[in-house]
Amino acid sequence: MLVPPPSTLLLNRYYTTEFFSMIKEHLNPGGVFMCSPGSAQTYFNEESLKLNSSVFNSLKVAFANVKPVAGNKLYFIASDKVLSASFCRLTEQQNIKNHYVSSDYLADDLTERKSDEIESLLDPEMRQNSSSFPIAYNYFQLYNLSKDLNEKVPAIVLLILLFATPLFAIKRKNLIMYFSASALAAFEIIVLLTLQLTVGNMYQLTGLIIAGLMAGLAIGAGSDFSRVTPISIPVKSIILILFYVLAASVYGSIIKTDSRFPAICMIMLLSFIPAFITGNIFRELTCESRTGNHIASVYSADLSGSAMGFIAVSGFAVPAFGTAATIYFLALLVFSGFLFGTIMNKH
């Protein structure tokens, strides 16, 4: 299977333990699978070793034997039967007539030697790449980052400053808005990722999920529900925290489900609820003042929180800590808003 390396979360799916197990189910007994997570280098730096180790270990979950083979790219061949990188001998054994695979071009002893050398460099303890913990994607990003790092550092610093600057403009009483919006944006990314994992083709469903989320925000912010409005912001924050904790605990079952329709319904519901509560927090914060200035500052906190949530989760948290841990982290984010924006904000 020749697909590009796990440079995106979408491509990372083709290098997960789940995907390899699925492949094995479809292979004939003793069938051979091959994939290539990156290039074959004369020297593997630490980042590329981590990337290759995580994919190698993921293949080991599904297949009894895995062998790295250095060619134009680094190939991993995997099977339940014994594998060999002696391609010349194998082609002769099978009476395959060809001009290319001969000892003039590929020497068996050199291929085997290189194979063993690469395998000895791979770390058997490295975490396996999975749908809920896309660590290979993370290592691929680090590998890319390690190239011309000095040139990239100014851009990274500039980006951090750009996203950190709004923090200085946020008023303390709007911190709950900042953190809940941040958590919601992050959760939206996770929902989209989950949709990709459970449904696969997500072109139209992406629109549906975003529409569900926006509807939640709109209803929460625009409607005056007699049962919801009297609930104070700290209590709403606690409900939001509990929601994220619950979502984190059921996340594993959602991505493992085989029935797509209930999964989609569940995902849509999951995107609607926090959006509704966050929208309602926005309403509460903006209703207490009639000045346009105040509404603008709450809106600013909302947007800058969302920006931080989008970036931090898609670029960092999910690949580094895994999805379930990230959702727990979202609960922690809202708790920070609850702590600094509501409890300690009382005068």
Partner 1 sequence: MKNSKHNISKRDFIRKSALLSAGLICFPCHKMLSESLPDQQGIYKRVAMYQEKTADGILCRICPNECVLNESDLSRCNSRKVHNSKLYTLAYGNPCSVNIDPVEKKPLYHFYPGSRAYSIATAGCNLACRNCQNWTISQTSPDKTRNFDLPPADVVAECISNNCRSIAYTYSEPVTFYEYVYETAMIARKSGIKNIMKSNGYINPEPLKKLCTVIDAANIDLKAFTESTYLKLTGGKCSNCLKSVDGVWN
Rounded Cα distance between 159 and 161, Å, is: 5
Which of 153, 218, 296, 344 is the binder for partner 1 (CB under 8 A)? 344
Which of positions 111-140 make contact with partner 1 (CB under 8 A)? 113-114
| Interaction of residue 148 with partner 1, rule CB under 8 A | yes
Burial of 51 (0-12, 13-18, 19+ CB in 10 A): buried
42 binds partner 1 (CB under 8 A): yes
Q: Which is nearer to partner 1, 97 or 347 (CB)?
A: 347
* Region of 37-45, 221-229, 260-268, 275-283 interacting with partner 1 (CB under 8 A): 37-45
Q: Which stretch binds partner 1 (CB under 8 A): 25-33, 45-53, 131-139, 182-190?
A: 45-53
The residues near 183 (Cβ < 8 Å, ≥ 6 apart) are 240, 244, 274, 278, 309, 330, 331, 333, 334
Helix, strand, coil percentages (3-state) for the chain, rounded to 5, are 70, 5, 25
Q: How buried is residue 232: exposed, middle or buried, by Cβ count under 10 Å (0-12/13-18/19+)?
A: exposed
Whose Cβ is closer to partner 1: residue 25's or residue 104's? 104
> What separation in angstroms does the CA of 126 have from each of 12, 34, 329?
16, 20, 23
**How many positions of this chain bind partner 1 (CB under 8 A)?**
28
Residue nearer to partner 1 on the CB measure, 246 or 321? 321
Longest Cα pair distance anywhere in the chain, in angstroms?
86
44 lies in the site for partner 1, by CB under 8 A: yes
Q: Which of 81, 89, 145, 147 binds partner 1 (CB under 8 A)?
A: 147
* DSSP one-letter string for 204-233: HHHHHHHHHHHHHHHHHHH---TTTTTS-H
Comparison of 227 and 346: residue with beta carbon closer to partner 1: 346
Cα 254 to Cα 234: distance, rounded to the nearest angstrom: 29
Distance CA 178, CA 167 (A): 9
When binding is defined by CB under 8 A, the residue of 27, 61, 107, 231 that contacts partner 1 is 107
Among positions 57-86, residues that touch partner 1 (CB under 8 A) are none
CB nearer to partner 1: pick between 27 and 107:
107
Stretch that binds partner 1, among 74-82, 164-172, 271-279, 293-301 (CB under 8 A): 164-172
DSSP 317: I
The answer to whether 100 contacts partner 1 (rule: CB under 8 A) is no
25 part of the interface to partner 1, by CB under 8 A: no
Contacts of 85 (CB under 8 A, 6+ apart): 67, 69, 77, 108, 111, 112, 115
179 touching partner 1, by CB under 8 A: no
* Residue 110 touches partner 1, criterion: CB under 8 A: yes
Residues forming the site for partner 1 (CB under 8 A) = 39, 41-46, 48, 104-105, 107, 110, 113-114, 146-148, 167-168, 170-172, 175, 340, 344-347
